[in-house]
Amino acid sequence: MQPVPEQAGVLATGTRSFASRLLPRYAQGNVADRSYALALGAFGLAIPVLFAFIVVRVGVASWPAIQRFGLGFVGGTTWDPVAGQFGALPFIFGTLASSLLALLIAVPLSIGLAIFLTELAPRWLAAPIAFGTELLAAIPSVVYGLWAIFVLVPWLRSSIQEPVASAIGDRVGLFAGPAYGSSIMAGGVILAIMIVPFISAVSREVLAAVPVAQREAALALGATRWEMTWQVVLPYAVPGIIGAIILGLGRALGETMAITMVIGNRAEVATSLFAPGATMASVLANEFAEASDDLHLAALMSIGLLLFGITIVVNSVARFLVWRVSLRGGK
């Protein structure tokens, strides 16, 4: 028995509706739409595939060192390619010490600058200051390193390290001499200069995302401009500011050229900020091209894997915090 035309039309419509529910969206529509969607999907999938490829490749290359030293590689303090002894602790310590020192310097400057630009500065002044700050992020790191070698390091040695070491170096080991110039302090200062644009830019966007109604309500209740900023705007933006700080930390952890040129590149756990040190990025830059021994190369790849994991975790936390603030601002 053949279906009548009306029944055939209903059946075809129902079949198409059922197929549209089963097929993914990119497989629906005409050929051009499907091709376009599939191409974009391939581009999107290329990112996690590339990420997985990097992890696998670096992990395989570092496996001989992991087999040889195990977890002792992370806590080892000896780095001697000639003797085949490798420990990553001096580089982990140098990375964390220089990055935390950079945060101590950069965070007050960045947040203060962001508050000034969003809450206090007139438009004619805020625009050029914001542009100049963001322009700092475009300067190549090697230029920062050259400036630090010829300007920052001599100034730190003569104006900061020598007077402080002479005055309190004997009593406070953190500032003990001698004053080398190239040191963990120099690395921390140059990193602070480099991460100020990142922290201030994100903090400025987070502060600008605070609803205007909250500012107006605080002012209507009699709050001063400072009280409105301190008691209303900043508490609302705290998660985003923390995210900005962590983004700056991720930038500092991964910096290579500038800090390699000023930190001194000595593989030891220094107890003084005035002593030379080394970071995970700097040892990779200095020794990777000259690593002829397989174990030496595997040790360097293990350090790269550690640095990769740390930066991924730090940036993921920062992105999550900024995303939370964006959601709150959109409500």
User: How many whole angstroms separate alpha carbon 330 and alpha carbon 14?
Assistant: 39
> 93 and 15 share a domain?
no
Residues contacting 256, CB < 8 A, separation 6+: 141, 281, 282, 284, 285
Q: How many domains does the chain have?
A: 2
> 195 and 298 share a domain?
yes
Going by the DSSP 8-state scheme, the letter that residue 277 receives in this structure is B
> 75 and 204 share a domain?
yes
Does 108 score more than 60 pLDDT? yes
Is residue 246 within 8 A of residue 312, CB to CB? The reply is no
> 301 and 218 share a domain?
yes
Is residue 202 within 8 A of residue 240, CB to CB? The reply is yes
pLDDT band at 223; cut points 50, 70, 90: confident
**Interval 113-171: pLDDT, tens:** 999 998 888 888 888 888 888 888 888 999 999 999 999 999 999 999 889 888 888 78
**Interval 163-221: pLDDT, tens:** 988 888 878 878 887 888 889 999 999 999 999 999 999 899 888 888 888 888 888 88
> 227 and 153 share a domain?
yes
Average pLDDT (286-293) is 83
- Give the per-residue pLDDT at 155: 93
User: How many whole angstroms separate alpha carbon 103 and alpha carbon 117?
Assistant: 20
Indicate the angle between helix axes 89-115 and 294-330, nearest 10 degrees.
20
- Give the per-residue pLDDT at 147: 94
- Give the per-residue pLDDT at 10: 45
Does 110 score more than 60 pLDDT? yes
> 236 and 271 share a domain?
yes
> 153 and 28 share a domain?
no
Does 16 score more than 70 pLDDT? no
Is residue 153 within 8 A of residue 186, CB to CB? The reply is yes
Helix, strand, or coil here: 185?
helix
- Give the per-residue pLDDT at 93: 92
Which of the two residues, 208 and 8, has the higher pLDDT score? 208
Average pLDDT (249-259) is 88
Residue after which a domain boundary falls, among 67, 85, 111: 67
> 75 and 170 share a domain?
yes
Q: What is the CATH number of the domain that holds 197?
A: 1.10.3720.10
- Give the per-residue pLDDT at 95: 92
Q: How many CB atoms within 10 Å of residue 37?
A: 16
> 74 and 54 share a domain?
no
**Full domain range(s) for residue 244:** 70-330
> 57 and 89 share a domain?
no
Which of the two residues, 7 and 76, has the higher pLDDT score? 76
Looking at every residue in the chain, the average pLDDT score rounds to: 84
> 166 and 113 share a domain?
yes
> 91 and 202 share a domain?
yes
Helix, strand, or coil here: 79?
strand
Any long-range contacts for 293-297 (C-beta under 8 Å, 24+ apart)?
A: 293/81, 293/84, 294/64, 295/64, 295/65, 295/68, 295/84, 295/86, 296/81, 296/84, 296/86, 297/61
